[in-house]
């Protein structure tokens, strides 16, 4: 029986003017079509999820003025969708209030920060009230790790920063997106060390997973790695099709595609 998947990094609102770095990601890294920068309809997303076997998608929304169209996705299909709320830690009074309000009324699974967009590493003091609020609300924290596709500094994506955060907030469930390459071994070491640190594979296709990462997910790290796409950056079907070449055991496949995300996000 096929595993029904959970994807913790899914985008549906991409329309409107895009920053230059996003255009470069589209054209230079993924050679994606115009659909990559278009808004995704509820019908198309559900069709793509059903084709690939994705049971639940965690949709990206902003803490400030979240897109009303995207909020209807979970209202219409509560079993299929939850939300990741993007927060700007430099504007904490407003952003934390909005995060708390959204968590009261919506299925919020986690808060998210992409550090290279604000050029502050995850150990900067501005993040710490956000970490405390995530623990209070019992939602996960998701962040980007690894180098940047855009022409922006990559230093904020060093996985070793997460080591200090996990030491300071051992109760905080941390999901590190984009696998941490080229600091893959550093990311593995941090995830292995801390019970509540996980790695997701968003924006990376299986045929390019580093060898040491594949070994980790098959062996001593099999409980720490979560399937993710960053859809529509990567289509669900492309990632699922390439997984076959990794020759994952049924146990590892179940953990990777579904069970680890359920535990990291506390999904019922």
pLDDT at 35: 59
Cα–Cα distance between 217 and 104 in angstroms, integer? 35
**Cβ count within 10 A of residue 131:** 20
pLDDT in tens, the chain (268 residues): 578 999 999 999 755 555 555 566 656 655 555 556 678 999 999 999 999 999 999 999 999 889 899 999 999 999 999 999 999 999 988 999 999 999 999 999 999 999 999 999 999 999 999 999 999 999 999 999 999 878 889 999 999 999 999 999 999 999 999 999 999 999 999 999 999 999 999 999 999 999 999 999 999 999 999 999 999 889 999 999 999 999 999 999 999 999 999 999 999 7
Q: Tell me the pLDDT tens digit for each residue of 245-264.
A: 999 999 999 999 999 999 99
Which domains does the chain possess? 5-265 (3.20.20.140)
Cβ neighbors of 46 (< 8 A, separation 6 or more) are 77, 80
Cα–Cα distance between 103 and 109 in angstroms, integer? 8
Kind and range of the H or E element at 239?
A: helix 236-243
Handedness of CA 247, 250, 255, 259 (dihedral sign): positive
Strand partners, 110: 84, 140
**Cβ count within 10 A of residue 203:** 22
The pair of three-digit structure tokens given for residue 179, joined into one six-digit string? 């696998």
Average of per-residue pLDDT values in the chain: 92
pLDDT at 38: 73
pLDDT at 226: 98
Region class of 187: left (phi > 0), else alpha (psi between -120 and 50), else beta: alpha
Q: Tell me the pLDDT tens digit for each residue of 61-84.
A: 999 889 899 999 999 999 999 999
pLDDT at 29: 57
Cα–Cα distance between 161 and 192 in angstroms, integer? 15
pLDDT at 110: 98
């Amino acid at each position: 029986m096929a595993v029904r998947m959970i994807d913790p990094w899914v985008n549906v609102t991409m329309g409107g003017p895009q920053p230059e770095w996003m255009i470069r990601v589209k054209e230079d890294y993924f050679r994606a079509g115009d659909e990559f920068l278009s808004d995704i309809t509820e019908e198309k997303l559900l069709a793509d999820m059903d084709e690939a076997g994705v049971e639940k998608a965690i949709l990206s929304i902003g803490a400030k003025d979240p897109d009303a169209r995207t909020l209807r996705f979970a209202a219409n299909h509560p079993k299929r969708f939850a939300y990741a709320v993007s927060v700007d830690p430099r504007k904490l009074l407003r952003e934390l209030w909005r995060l708390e309000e959204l968590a009261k009324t919506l299925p919020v699974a986690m808060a998210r920060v992409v550090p290279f967009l604000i050029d502050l590493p995850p150990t900067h003091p501005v993040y710490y009230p956000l970490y405390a609020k995530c623990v209070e609300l019992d939602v996960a924290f998701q962040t980007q790790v690894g180098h940047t596709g855009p022409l922006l500094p990559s230093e904020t994506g060093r996985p070793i920063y997460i080591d200090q955060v996990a030491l300071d907030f051992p109760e905080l469930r941390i999901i590190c997106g984009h696998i941490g390459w080229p600091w893959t071994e550093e990311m593995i070491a941090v995830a292995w060390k801390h019970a509540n640190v996980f790695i997701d594979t968003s924006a990376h296709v299986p045929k390019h997973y580093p060898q040491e990462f594949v070994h980790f997910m098959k062996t001593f790290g099999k409980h720490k790695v979560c399937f993710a796409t960053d859809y529509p950056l990567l289509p669900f079907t492309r990632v699922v099709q390439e997984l076959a070449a990794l020759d994952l055991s049924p146990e590892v496949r179940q953990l990777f595609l579904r069970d680890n995300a359920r535990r990291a996000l506390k999904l019922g």
